[in-house]
Amino acid sequence: MLINGTTEAAFEQVRAAFAENFAHRGETGGALCVTVGGRVVVDLWGGWMSRSAAERWRPDTLVNFFSVGKGLMALLAARLAGDRRLDVDAAVTRYWPEFGAAGKEAITVRHLLTHQAGLPAIRRTLPPGAMLNWRLMTSELAGHPPWWPPGTAHGYHVNTFGFLSARCFGARLA
């Protein structure tokens, strides 16, 4: 498999592991970029954009990585909490005042992170493309009542987690 890109000498094992994904783990295509101290030390891409092998993976190939973002947001929340810049037991309104409407005053950051906020989706039909509209989605979620009393049940917040968590504590990353 053709692997493109660069790897600093100290990170050649990363290149080997990346290639291993194609050779022995059935990977079709992918990319990896690693920075250390603000410097790019690995920038690799290879394989195909689809199983049909019609088009090679490029360094600018776009990918929808679905729920991987949830783990990344949880990692960021843990880092912020460890630095005492985020209190996971605080009400979301501490960080996002507008969120306190429609019976959501007591929802905590922990409820958001554990999918217990009662906001797995918006009940009304939204216009086409709404999921790509940050302002629309965060406004809808701020004004939307929870589906169940927060903290009493779990429901995978598949399409709302990113908006809820990023709006709640994303600004604290700066």
Catalytic residue list: 67
DSSP letter assigned to residue 52: T
CA atoms within 13 A on the CB side of 47: 21
Instruction: Name residue 118's amino acid.
Output: G
DSSP letter assigned to residue 11: G
**What DSSP letter does each residue of 87-153 carry, written as one string?**
-TTSBGGGT-GGGG-TT-TT-BHHHHHTT-SS-SS-SSPPPTTGGG-HHHHHHHHHHPPPSS-TTS-
> CB under 8 Å, gap of 24 or more: what pairs does 20-24 form?
22/46, 22/47
